[in-house]
Amino acid sequence: MIPKGKQGKKLKIQVLAGGISHERDISLKSGRRVADALTDFGAEVVIREPDHDLLANIKKDKPDVIFPCLHGASGEDGALRDILSVSGVPFVGATAAGSRLAWDKSIAKILVSREGISTPASITLPKDTFRELDAETVLKTVASAISLPVVVKPARSGSAQGVSIVKNQAELNRAMIDAYVYCDVAIIEKYIEGTELAISVVDLGAGPIALPPVEIEPRDGKYGYDERYIAGETNFYIPARVKPQINEEAAALAIAVHGILNLRHISRIDVIVDKKGVVWFLEANVAPGLTETSLLPQSIAASGNSLGEVYYSLAEAAKRNV
């Protein structure tokens, strides 16, 4: 169970949802679900877009706390959080600095690996470098160095957009083009076959707690955008079908990454467990999806808590500036 927050005067919470990123629709769904859960718990809630009226609406609404439900660059690259930090209103989630560390997957991998945590071998390729050099020779060299299969993904993007699993050389160039649609930097990462787990971390001020890991089993073998948000495309297992020791190791890794990347209040850490039982860090999410098919709400339910209770406790933690 997550420790319950202090009960006092009910908070007025401004939920931010929408934005202009590729993940706008998911953000709107997350925001609506959070707003409904908070309202059911007794909070006064208003939903706003992060548009040109943002600061004016903050002054107009006079919220006690802001709860960002913004996915993609507009909510996770740190820029908006910098603005919120000077608005004078506390907000739920990572600071701007923490967001920037986690949002760039290549940076997050470096920081995490420096602390002795396993993460798949990878090469980061900016689009300009890819254009200037002989692309075909570069990709052949990379494929030889890392060895196929590999995962190609944007360095800064969410919801698995632009992600490809590449099993042969012919697919690699197409995968790079797909990744560059979403970001001008792509990561080519060694594919690790195994069991994918998502571990949500919650910190209400007394230290981070790992919620029950969710095991992800996509029907077609790839946990892409459709598999994340279309019901029935993926099987989820809570508790995960791994040995208790692996669950504990994955939870400990998630808590460690949450600290290494200087995250706050809430995060989701994605890992994969290979056939030998080694837990590999894949990426960290500072604004996890909160839709009806998202992983963090499933973890909250499995922990024995209600969504409204946890979201409200997060708002209380933000108000206490912890």
Domains of the chain as residue ranges with CATH: 101-118+193-304 (3.30.470.20), 122-190 (3.30.1490.20)
For residue 109, pLDDT over 50 is answered with yes
- What pLDDT sits at residue 3? 59
- pTM for this prediction: 0.91
Who has greater pLDDT, 210 or 223? Answer: 210
The per-residue DSSP string of 230-281 comes to STTSEEEESS-SS-HHHHHHHHHHHHHHHHHTT--SEEEEEEEEETT--EEE
Beta bridge partners, 269, equal 199, 284
For residue 226, pLDDT over 60 is answered with no
Note the pLDDT tens digit of each residue in 141-160: 988 899 899 999 999 876 57
Query: Chain-wide mean pLDDT for the chain?
Result: 90
- What pLDDT sits at residue 72? 78
- What pLDDT sits at residue 1? 52
For residue 75, pLDDT over 70 is answered with yes
pLDDT tier for residue 220 given thresholds of 50, 70 and 90: low
For residue 223, pLDDT over 90 is answered with no
For residue 227, pLDDT over 50 is answered with no
- What pLDDT sits at residue 224? 45
For residue 301, pLDDT over 50 is answered with yes
Q: DSSP label at 91?
A: B
pLDDT tier for residue 136 given thresholds of 50, 70 and 90: confident
Could you give the angle at the alpha carbon of 226 between the alpha carbons of 128 and 271, nearest 5°?
70
Residue 104, number of CB atoms within 10 A of its CB: 20
pLDDT over 70, % of the chain: 93
d(CA 269, CA 112): 12
Note the pLDDT tens digit of each residue in 178-187: 999 988 999 9
- What pLDDT sits at residue 219? 72
Who has greater pLDDT, 6 or 177? Answer: 177
- What pLDDT sits at residue 249? 97
Largest CA distance in the chain: 64
